[in-house]
Amino acid sequence: AQKVTQAQTEISVVEKEDVTLDCVYETRDTTYYLFWYKQPPSGELVFLIRRNSFDEQNEISGRYSWNFQKSTSSFNFTITASQVVDSAVYFCALSGETGANNLFFGTGTRLTVIP
Amino acid sequence: DTEVTQTPKHLVMGMTNKKSLKCEQHMGHRAMYWYKQKAKKPPELMFVYSYEKLSINESVPSRFSPECPNSSLLNLHLHALQPEDSALYLCASSQDWAEPYGYTFGSGTRLTVV
């Protein structure tokens, strides 16, 4: 079965602090994809990154970086020098053959950046 | 055009009403999805259309009726809803259902059933 766990329900940081959002997943698939989405108060889910199970390279995009470790089934997301505009709910998601390639979301982490 | 457009943005309906939610994309995507998101919960898959054919119905009650008139449009017809159906309804599309290169989501319709 596919499962995504985001243990941090809510996080508050002061602007300019770094913050890491944790994501742990379970799957029996050998080929799978991991995603991060941002959901601001407006409701739209904004795609941030997709990573396939064969690519464990970490990725950096501006202030965002992702650490994928298959050994611990984790796909963590770090925001460096957080800004108020980063305040949102962040979802980690998984898709794979077992779930007919549909997206399974974690429960989300609500990030509040305090000015 | 890299957007998924959903209308209306907000909808209030009575339990005896019939209404429809609309979703449109012009990215040439061949898979389209309806998700339901309750407050403070993750989105949950309702329906998947692949090449305009219903591929997945996740045991959704018949008071929700999806329709895909063409490759760019996806509707969700609502009838005799219950207050617990109040939620954010999200539409999404992807290049292909079998190859999850990433989903593009609309901003959703906030539905309130009174």
CA neighbor of B96 nearest in space, from A66, A95, A26 = A95
CA distance A1 to chain B (A): 16
Interface with A, mutate which of B2, B54, B105, B111 (most A CBs under 10 A): B105
Helices (H), chain A: none
Reported as a single tens digit per residue, the pLDDT across B8-45 is: 999 999 999 999 999 999 999 999 999 999 999 999 99
pLDDT band at A90 (very low <50, low <70, confident <90, very high): very high
**Closest-CA residue of chain B to A5:** B42
**Closest-CA residue of chain A to B43:** A105
Q: Which residues of A touch B42 (CB under 8 A)?
A: 91, 105-108
Interface with A, mutate which of B45, B111, B112 (most A CBs under 10 A): B45
Is pLDDT of A95 > 80? yes
Residue A75 near residue A68, CB atoms below 8 Å: yes
On whether any CB of chain A is under 8 Å from the CB of B106, the answer is yes
Is pLDDT of B98 > 90? no
Expressed in angstroms, the distance from the first to the final Cα of chain B is 36
Per-residue pLDDT, B2? 67
Residue A64 near residue A78, CB atoms below 8 Å: yes
Reported as a single tens digit per residue, the pLDDT across A39-70 is: 998 888 999 999 989 888 888 889 999 999 99
